[in-house]
Structure 1
Amino acid sequence: MASRAAVPLIALVLLAIPAATFAVSPVLWTLETFEDFEKGKPDGAAVAAGGELILAPALRPLKIAALEQTSEPFLWSQTVDGKGTLYIGGGNGGRIYRVPRGAAGSLYYETGDLAVHALAVDKSDVLYAATSPQGKIYRITGEAKGEVFYAPEDRYIWALAFSPKGELYAATGERGIIYKIPAKGKADVFFDSEEFHVVSLTFDQGGNLLAGTDGKGLLYRIAPDGRATVLYDSRLREVNAVVVDPKGVIYAAAIGQEGEISVPPPPQPQPPGPERETPPTSNRPVPPPVVIPGIESGTTATVTVTASAAGPPSGVSSLPRSEVYRIDPDGTVTTLWSSQSEVVYSLALDPSGRPVAGTGEPGRVRVLVGAQQSTLLAKLPESQVTSLISGQGQQMFAASSNVGRVYMLDPATGETGTYLSPTCDAQTISKWGRISWRASVPTGARVEVASRTGNSSIPDSTWSDWSSIYTNPDGSAVSSPSARFLQWRARLARPGGGASPSLLAVSVAYLPSNLPPILKRISVEPPGIVRERLPYAAEPDAQELAFTGIRVNPDTGALTSQPPQLSEKRIFVRGMRALDWDAEDPNGDVLSFDLAFKSESESSWKPLAKALRDSYFGFDSTQLPDGLYRVRVDATDAPSNPAGQAKTASQTSDPFLVDNTPPTVQVTARKAGKDMMVEASATDTLGPIARAEYSLDAGRFVPVAPIDGVSDSRAESYSFSLVSLRAGEHTVIVKVTDLLGNTGAGKATFTSD
């Protein structure tokens, strides 16, 4: 299609495709799925698997003054005795804390080691504690009263379990041995695995020992006589937790990237201590000791937790993948839950026999209710939930790390709970419309919603105060001031003994401000290179054909504001010049482009093209005098906005050379003995000259170098000899091409003897 500007120009505008007009239209931000609500912060509220907010079991921090004073970073293990007394084992200090039922907790015993990774109580409520990296088992009979019960050669004791007959079993690391310990100072190798670490233990209803390993991620079932079978071979590296429900169903958690190999550090000196017992061992070599994150490096070590016995390999920065498996009594294995970002550190059973997972990061407590379905009971301020255990009655205890805290999940549903939504980022200062919600509210229960706004991504003191409570679930005008970010808060309440309300969805409408387009780049194609569009286009997305007067939960990135590109190829057309540019609109508006040009010696811009929809333009430069030029692209979102509300942006290209004049070539030939010497000179107005070739008597053109050896200036001279010529008339043509592809030629005719 041709168009004319202030000077005669033949412009080639390649086909553009119309696109749906977005304009600045209202946006509806809605939270209504489990994934939506999970991004917020519940406090006394739970995110149910079906995607609704309900009141959660009350989460109460336990008062342990000694724990608060020591600022214990890690709590690795818990156990509960027959009286309901809770014991907690930690690190870096290797301390054990005791919390009697209904009373405050206190420091109970100090092992002198760095970490207490396992706790267990026998039928007489005597406490046993396993430590690392000194690898000792303590028998503790009272406050500050304990003794070393067994000290194997292995430095790491990861798990303890009592059999139904009251026999103590210990899972160790470095050689992957499980010991049976019948009495003080005596032990037998019950099972010698082919792994370096056995990290989890429990017994099933048939008295078989279940053991999870680190390395190949195996779950063993070991009969009382020591014969073992692999119950499941996980695709992940470590089976770090295992529990069995009353029906005999096994739940096991696994972590670690597929194919990940533990890389142990160099050996470290053995800590001083009493002489250690030497049980029967295998002949396998002992691997180097492993790192316990945040422990072996000292009490001021970085507080980074991993559930891997051997620690993450060097260079791995992302959280490992984790999965939870369900293994039915008939041996059928299904993946109950998995995550690419969340790590399961602990497993327990709730009073109903459902598996509960403690995860990070951040610390979460989830009830697993079905395939890839969970109810988020609590999101803790700490980074990881490293231990979960059921107490007497309906109680459950959660111990966290980074920092160490202990919580009790009360079986009774709380009477109130709050939920803070994730912040809505409108990308620009916006006018807030109406807020509405869907809820099920039994008699006497309440759901109260309020909002606040601000211009920082994380709410701080610069944000507005919380609004008054909105009363109409069908829609109330948001009273918070215009801003870029909005957050809403829901408060759920029920009367004593009454049913919990449930919040199903919350929506907020807003109108973003119109922002100017963004021009990122202007590129000038090489001379003669243009794009030829093929005679077919991509089929438009069905969504582009639909009415889009209001957008729902848009992505946070810039919206596509340009038409889809046709299939194309690059071709050469002498004299053509082409430009392309990158442009986008923060509001997703359709853009229109005007082009103007001027030479470097001129001050005023002249129109080149108007109302382009494509970000590409080609024109015939032979209509222009030779020289340096620039092109300015003016973008506007006027096609998507009412008159007077459009925004614009401009960007100017780098200077580019228009040169359509070929070089001039002078050729002479003279005799040089029996041969002919050809001399040529070439000049170009703008140059530089790129190459020269000659042809004798219409033969093939042969490249020839300039006398100075380099083609790099507007004037070049050439000299070459023609030998072994036949007698008669000859014609030599010298063809010279400049850098922009213009070609000039000269010739000389002579007679050879």
Structure 2
Amino acid sequence: MKKLALSLAALLLSFSLPARAEFPKNWYLEGVGDFLEGDILSTAIEADGSLSLGLDIAPMLKLNTGGSILDAESLGSQIFLGTGNPAGVYQVDGNQGKYTLKTLLERSQGVVSAVLPQKNGDVLAALSPFGQIYRIHQGKAELILSLDERYIWEMQAGPNGEVYILTGDKAVLYRLDRDLKLTRLYQSNEANLKVLHQDRHWGLLVGSGSKGIVYRIQANQHPEALMDSDFTEVTAMTGDGKGNVFVAATRENPPKNQPKSAVFMISPSGQSEMLFRMNTETAFTLELDQAGSLLIGTGPRGRIYRFTDPLSAEKRMLSLPARGQSRQLAKIIPGQGSELFMVGSSPAQIERFQGNFLSKGEYETQIFKSSLKANWGNLRFDALMPADTAVRAWSRSGNTAEPDNTWSAWEGPYSDPKGSPIKSPPGSYLQLRFELSSKNPKHSPKLHSIDISFMRENLAPYFNDVYFLQRGLFFKPHTLGKIEGPRILDLNAQVMDKLRRPKGTDEIYQELIAEKMPLAMRVIQDYRPGMLTLAWDASDPNDDNLEYEVSYQRFGDQTWKSLAHAIQDSFYSFDSATLAEGQYHFRVTANDALSNPGQGFRIAKETQLITIDNTPPAVSALSFNQEEKTVKFSFSAKDTVTPLAYAEYSLDGQKTELFQSKDGIIDGLDEQFEILLKKPAKGSHTLVVRVLDRLGNVQTAQKVFEIR
């Protein structure tokens, strides 16, 4: 504990304190999940969770047509593109780093939704929404097939020269033989079949476009659903040829707290598992590189994720090695060695990278929200910086949730990992920008964690309400105990999460405060006449721990007297008999000094006037007068503190009846009562009267009388 106290003192001294301030707090970022909250502009996330320079992605070719790329396939060193707006087929040839674009087909209407280069040099192109397939031979396009279905989503070559075709608006799988004979292999009850994959282990696999199902199609056999999911559309499939198949799926309107897109793996046994989930992105393309890593191309941020060792649950690790200039990646095409081509659809272009790092990369954190105006402390970061590499940071602050022209300019740079005072002016929001740089294309710095200290101005607590519970109701302690003691637990993820090692200063300060707090307490609700329970609803803008004091003041007095102090609960039960009867104001005072030593606020709120009266009314002069047909009873009732409110009688234990005072309303301290009853039968009778005051104090009297 001595070490903790010294660390706290050092942290306090690193701030220029505002007039009133709470304990220092901090934001801490580490790992893939935290870094993905920010904007990865030209940096990457490594498999170990660190932030590094992005791979050097060079624009290779950009379409000047203004359209979008819907499909891309490669054959040898050539890449073939199918586009929309306008509909076209283009051939990309590369030689010694120089690339040329050749137009094979252009149409003014529709889109080329699928292309298929063939080994004989021909290229097949599907034109939607016309359901047409063209064969391009030696630069000339010939219409070879018109289908009843309007959309053709994919074409793939089979092992014997046949072509498999997937369609939409009617979900049909066709086989087109070399002699152009067309055979319907399967029709789904969905609207679209979107993705084809051929696997040596599984054969022909089809991904659906509205139910998120992967079908296995075998000759002369009933189709088999190999995988079902909670998603609606399969967007991509790839595999290693040994039965391990990777599937990307998406949905438009995911349920709350559920992913928008996900990547699954189907094992050779047919078991499927989710590898990766994305809440705001969609996986559009999957590819295995030469090392066996799974590459995932996404939109709308144009990111490429990499899973190393995807087959091994023990070894697989996720990284984000690159981000393209296109917002949506339509295809990842492996080249030679470590070379990869990224085909983007928006804007329509091809980018290329070979594995070198960029010389400079930027990363912007998410907007940090302090909720209250804060003074900024030190920025610290943990980074590995090989020779010729560097990490620098800048900061800016403001008072709006989105940065605008009211925010401060970027301040910096900060380059000392051990800590630099943040120069940005006080505010409610803060953002950091990191620059990673390297003079060696084979080396990159690695930023592992970021720590930002800040101290918010302390605002006063406030009361929403102060009130008394029903009279007689009170709470008493049931069990006491600290969580450090032996406990029997049913361990689950939620329990373990609450026991995590503290990640920030908030948890440390809560431990300090907890030492000053009473033991954890549960209560029993009970009832006893004369008990009062004062309750309150108080809040603190800083979420400070509050301590309360209860005081009282007799009506007409000027002095407040303390009834209880150092209360951490939101109620206080006491026996009202310990106070003299009369009218009182009670006051609850909240202070936040536990969280703000020496600089706390004391805020008080009073109750409405409350009467303490534990003495029942006095009933006197209960008399009996017998007349010819009636009997009349008279008595008086008196209370010294609380007005009377209620009177009833019962004759010979029969039903209780209410009655009023002589003046017609029971509302005074002193009331006169008369009861006129029909004369009962001869003999002895008993009349019981009960009188209550407004606080429920009750007095009972009885009269035994004789009827002759």
- State how far apart, in whole Å, the 1-side matches of 2:632 and 2:161 are: 111
Instruction: Specify the SS of the correspondent of 1:422.
Output: coil
Amino acid at match of 1:651: K
Distance 1:83 1:140, change over 3 A: farther
Equivalence map 1:209-358=2 (5 Å): 209-214=204-209, 217-223=212-218, 228-234=223-229, 236=231, 238-245=233-240, 249-255=244-250, 306=252, 320=259, 322-329=261-268, 331=270, 333-339=272-278, 343-350=282-289, 352-358=291-297
Amino acid at match of 1:633: V
Which residue type is aligned with residue 354 of structure 1?
Answer: S
Matched, 1:366 2:305: yes
Cα distance in structure 1, aligned partners of 2:63 and 2:503:
57
- Of 351, 354, 363, which aligns to 1:408? 351
Q: For the Cα contact (< 8 Å) 2:249–2:262, is it kept in 1?
A: yes
Matched, 1:87 2:85: no
Matched, 1:177 2:131: no
Root-mean-square deviation (CA, aligned residues, Å) is: 4.8
Note closer, same or farther for the CA distance 1:722–1:455 as it changes in structure 2 (3 Å cut).
same
Distance between the aligned counterparts of 1:706 and 1:139, measured in 2? 102
Confirm whether residue 573 of structure 1 aligns to residue 528 of structure 2. yes
Residue matched to 1:444: 388
TM-score, L = length of structure 1: 0.72
For 2:667, the equivalent position in structure 1 comes to 714
Say if 2:333 and 2:341, in contact at 8 Å, map to a contact too: yes
Quickly say closer, same or farther: Cα 1:523–1:388, change in 2 above 3 A.
farther
* Distance 1:147-1:583 versus aligned 2 partners, 3 A rule: farther
- Corresponding residue of 2:657: 704
CA distance in 1, matches of 2:86, 2:609: 71
CA-CA distance at 1:504 after TM superposition: 1.9
From 36, 39, 45, the counterpart of 1:38: 36
Assess if the C-alpha contact under 8 Å between 1:155 and 1:174 holds in 2.
yes
User: Does the C-alpha gap of structure 1 residues 734 and 440 become closer, same or farther in structure 2, counting only changes over 3 Å?
Assistant: same
Q: CA deviation at 1:642?
A: 4.1
Q: What is the one-letter code of the residue matched to 2:602?
A: T
Say if 1:724 and 1:198 are closer, same or farther in 2 by CA, change over 3 A.
Answer: farther
Aligned length: 655
What is the letter of the counterpart of residue 202 of structure 1?
H
Provide the rounded CA distance (Å) in 2 between the counterparts of 1:545 and 1:198: 47
Provide the residue aligned with 1:288 in structure 2.
none
User: Which residue is 1:112 aligned to?
Assistant: 109
SS in 1 for 2:454: strand
SS in 2 for 1:515: coil
Distance 1:438 1:514 in 2: 30
Within a 5 Å distance, the mapping from 1:501-650 to structure 2 comes to 501-537=445-481, 539=483, 551=505, 565-587=520-542, 589-598=544-553, 607-622=562-577, 623=579, 625-627=581-583, 630-643=585-598, 645-650=599-604
Report the secondary structure of 1:35's partner residue: helix
Aligned residues of 2:202 and 2:216 also touching (Cα < 8 A)? no
- Quickly say closer, same or farther: Cα 1:720–1:148, change in 2 above 3 A: farther
Structure 1 window deviating more from structure 2 (102-111 vs 245-254): it is 102-111
Question: Against the structure 1 CA distance between its residues 152 and 495, is the aligned structure 2 distance closer, same or farther, given a 3 Å change threshold?
Answer: same
Distance 2:417 2:269 in 1: 50
Residue identity opposite 2:340 in structure 1? Q
Compared CA separation, residues 50 and 397, structure 1 to 2 (3 A): same
Q: Which one has more relative contact order, counting CA pairs under 8 Å at least 6 apart?
A: 1
Alpha-carbon distance change, 445 to 630 in structure 1, aligned in 2, over 3 angstroms: same
Q: 1:626, 1:661 within 8 Å by CA — same for their partners in 2?
A: no
**SS of match in other structure, 1:463:** coil
- Residue 280 of structure 1: aligned partner: none
Q: CA deviation at 1:111?
A: 6.3
Deviation at 1:52, TM superposition (A): 0.5
Sequence identity percentage? 28
What corresponds to 1:651 in structure 2? 605
Please give the secondary structure, in 1, of the residue aligned with 2:550: strand
CA 60–748 in structure 1, closer or farther in 2 if over 3 Å, else same: farther
> 1:536 is paired with a residue of what secondary structure?
strand
Letter paired with 1:87: L
1:47 positional shift:
0.8
Distance in 1 of aligned mates of 2:706 and 2:248: 96
Secondary structure, in 3 states, of the residue corresponding to 2:413? coil
- In 2, Cα distance between equivalents of 1:153 and 1:518: 71
Structure 1 Cα separation of the partners of residues 450 and 398 of structure 2: 19
Pick the structure with more strand per residue.
2
Q: Residue 22 of structure 2 contacts residue 595 of structure 2 at CA under 8 Å; is this kept in 1?
A: yes
Cα distance between partner residues in 1 of 2:501 and 2:355 = 49
Alignment map for 1:662-741 (pairs within 5 Å): 662=616, 689=645, 693-697=648-652, 699=653, 702-706=655-659, 714=667, 725=681, 727-738=682-693, 740-741=695-696
Q: Provide the residue aligned with 1:475 in structure 2.
A: 419
The residue aligned with 1:163 is 158
Structure 1 CA distance for aligned equivalents of residues 665 and 109 of structure 2: 80
Structure 1 stretches of 5 or more lacking a match?
Answer: 1-19, 257-305, 307-311
SS in structure 2 at match of 1:464: coil
Evaluate the alpha carbon distance shift between residue 489 and residue 340 of structure 1 in structure 2; reply closer, same or farther with a 3 A threshold: closer
Give the 3-state SS of the residue equivalent to 2:207 in structure 1.
strand
Q: Specify whether residues 548 and 702 from structure 1 end up closer, same or farther in structure 2 by C-alpha distance, changes over 3 A only.
A: farther
Give secondary structure in 2 for the equivalent of 1:534: strand
One-letter amino acid of the structure 2 residue matched with residue 324 of structure 1: V
Q: Structure 2 length normalisation: TM-score?
A: 0.76
Partner AA of 1:592 in structure 2: E
C-alpha spacing 1:491/1:449, structure 2 compared with 1 (3 Å): same
Which residue does 1:743 correspond to in 2? 698
> Does the 8 Å CA contact 1:26/1:549 hold for their aligned counterparts?
no
